[in-house]
Amino acid sequence: MNVTTTTLQNLTLVMFAEINVKEGWNSAGVVPALEMAVHDVNADPNVLPGYHLNYVAMDTKCNEGAAAAALVRAIQRPPQKIILIGGGCSVSTLATAQTTPFFNLIQISYGSSRLKLSKRDIYRTFWRNIPTKGSYLKAHLAIVKHYGWKRVATIGNECQEDMAVLHKLFQSNGIENLAYHTVGDIDELSDVQIQDLKNRDARIIIFDGYEQTFRRILCKAYRFDMSGGKVVWIFNGWYSKGWMSVNDTVCDPSEVKAAAEHGLTLMELMTFEKFTHGQETINGLTFDQYERRYKQWPSFEKYGFNEYHPYGYDAIWAAALALNSSIPEVAKQVVTEVFDGETVVRPKRLDDFTYEDSHLLDVLMEELKKTNFTGMTGPMSFYENGSRPWQIEITQVQDSVQVAVGVHNEITGHISIDESLLKWAGGQVPLDHTPVVNRMSYIDGALAAVITGLAGLGILLGLSLLVFNIVFMNHRHIKLSSPNLNNVIATGCVVAFSCVPFVALDTRLVPPDVMPAMCMTSGWLLSIAFSLAFGAMFAKTWRVYKIFRNKSGRMRKPLQDKHLLLGVAFLVMVDVAVMVTWTVIDPMYLTYHIQTDTETDGKRLITKHESCTSELKTYWIGGLLAEKGLLLIFGCFLAFETRKVFVPELNDSK
């Protein structure tokens, strides 16, 4: 829209807004407020006397390319533009605010909050009347500290330096950032990324991005069982009304709502009625009166409502008042014109501005620093970096509705949360991790006592048989059955039973540093016990085999007990050699096997199973089993060969 007058000098603003938006923030509803502000400025005789404010509205689509193209068109096409207003989307503003200084243009945004825009060395002429992302980051930190959370995860849009600042804030305050995943404005987290968050037990997750992306993330979170109650999502509160009900994901909107439930949102405090109550506003209206006008403005029906509309209104007034205050300073310079063939020297006017005019830019920059009026958003002033101090409102999602529960004041650093308004799953503030219950797994004491008792009975039985065998070794039947070898068998059985108590021991009964010796002792006893018991049995069977294999019944060299006992001794010496080598070069040590289970009450149960091991344990046991396995196989062969021997005293093969 261009308005021309014959009596007033025209000053033209560029008004950027995001209207036809595919991905990002739509600021179309701010346009009626911008138009209304221009109208009110022109209607005020004390503001810009002798001038008429015009505007050209352009759609930047919340897209870098569209914003850059809009800026080029605005500069190339007449009339000369004097100040840029907007945009509302940081993505598009980043594309224009870096260029405007080269054309000596000021840009005042009503919605771009990214922290990067505060860098005065890059965005030298950029101003904004909304809180920066820095206000949000401080509020994030305040919330995390308020609840004593020490572990958080973050998700942000690509190329966002804001999150890096947040990570530094967390680090300096002893808060661990478990993971940081980036996601584009039109993308979503991959299954690998969401699984990574789950594997890291991320329970407090901060998301910074647009609602379209966040809906897709919540959908995937729901599918991965990371819904509200288990996970607290902290995200932006400035999403459009009913954003959770938009059906643009593979999930049902009810699933998106379930994932967002109990989440916390952050948004600049917009209790404008309170901010302007009792104050003399720039237009003489209360906020309620202003908002009624806004909703009745002709273009409201076309563009709809946007709760950021007061920021747009005040941005126009900030620009107009800065221009108004610049008039005397600009008039100190003169302009030479040729009028009807005569050279005329007159004071410089605002409409004399060109894109090469750095003087007006310098004057406007100084006047904006002095900004001090009460607009529809409350008291208006700027920091040196072109930003505005503010308070951040904290809300909680309750039954899919954002309920205000607290405020963080950026200036004082104070956070105030009404805990009575909060609704947490289970009625308790969520932890930043899954509660962990650690326990040691031991052999059941009663079972160990029973088994050890039975082993004790086995030892008594073995000793009894050993004594019986010694006492009656000259008895005919006992003498024929090789009592010396029987004694070795009984001894082997006693030794085998003796290893049971060592196996039943654990760190409840002996110190951890003693356990490896107990484990090694049980290995010694069991290995030697097998060689004694089975070795003696094998020797007896071998002798029977040799006797009955000889058809004549006579042997050239009869196998005496001492020969057989030497064979058993050889087997024992092999065990001793192996066990000594194992003990010396690869001693056992105590180790723990961790088993993790999640119980139904949401607690993670971690069970530690203790055991003894060594670096080459598998090879040592494999060697012993191979040796004893071969002995067993050969013993089975001998038993099969002597199966038809029916002498009762020589019935070992049975």
554-613 pLDDT per residue, tens: 555 667 778 888 988 999 999 999 999 999 999 999 988 888 776 656 677 888 888 898
- The position carrying tokens 């860098």 is 119
Which pLDDT value is given to residue 363?
A: 97
Burial track 304-342 (b if 16+ CB lie within 10 A, e otherwise): eebebbbbbbbbbbbbbbbbbbbbebbeeeeeeeeeeee
Sign of CA dihedral 65, 71, 76, 79: positive
CATH architecture assignment, domain 133-268: 3-Layer(aba) Sandwich (3.40)
Cβ–Cβ under 8 Å, residues 531 and 492: yes
| Residue pair 620/582 in contact by the 8 Å Cβ criterion | yes
- Higher-scoring residue by pLDDT: 339, 345: 345
188 pLDDT higher than 50? yes
Tokens of 634: 């050969």
pLDDT category of residue 289 using cuts at 50, 70 and 90: very high
450: three-class secondary structure by DSSP: helix
Convert the pLDDT of each residue in 13-66 to its tens digit: 999 999 999 888 899 999 999 999 999 999 999 999 999 999 999 999 999 999
d(CA 129, CA 312): 9
User: What is the residue type of 285?
Assistant: L
Sheet strands side by side (includes 589-598): 436-441, 604-613, 589-598
470-526: pLDDT as tens digits: 888 888 777 777 888 888 989 999 999 999 998 888 888 889 899 999 989 989 999
Mean pLDDT of the chain: 89
**Half-sphere exposure at residue 384, Cβ-oriented, CA atoms within 13 angstroms:** 1
Other beta carbons within 10 angstroms of residue 403's beta carbon come to: 13
Among all chains, which residue has been given the structure tokens 């505007």? 55
* One-letter-per-residue 3-state SS of 293-355: HHHHCCCHHHHCCCCCHHHHHHHHHHHHHHHHHHHHHHCCCEEEEEECCEEEEEECCHHHCCC
pLDDT at res. 474: 83
Fold match between domain 9-130+271-306+308-388 and domain 133-268: yes
Helix axes 515-549, 483-498, angle to 10 degrees: 160
**pTM to 2 decimal places:** 0.65
- Which residue type occupies 535? G
Q: Is 61 strand, coil or helix?
A: coil
CATH fold of 439-650: Rhopdopsin 7-helix transmembrane proteins (1.20.1070)
Q: Residue 228 has what DSSP assignment?
A: B
| Per-residue confidence (pLDDT) for residue 2, from 0 to 100 | 43
Between CA 109 and CA 561 the distance in angstroms is 106
Please, which pLDDT band fits residue 103 given cuts at 50, 70 and 90?
very high
Q: What pLDDT does 49 receive? A: 95
In words, the CATH class of domain 9-130+271-306+308-388 is alpha beta
Q: Indicate the domain borders of the chain.
A: 9-130+271-306+308-388, 133-268, 439-650
Task: Give Cβ neighbours of residue 299 (< 8 Å, ≥ 6 apart).
Answer: 31, 32, 35
- Containing H/E element for 276? helix 272-276
The four Cα atoms 447, 448, 449, 450 give a dihedral, to 10 degrees, of 50
Structure tokens at 368: 């904006």
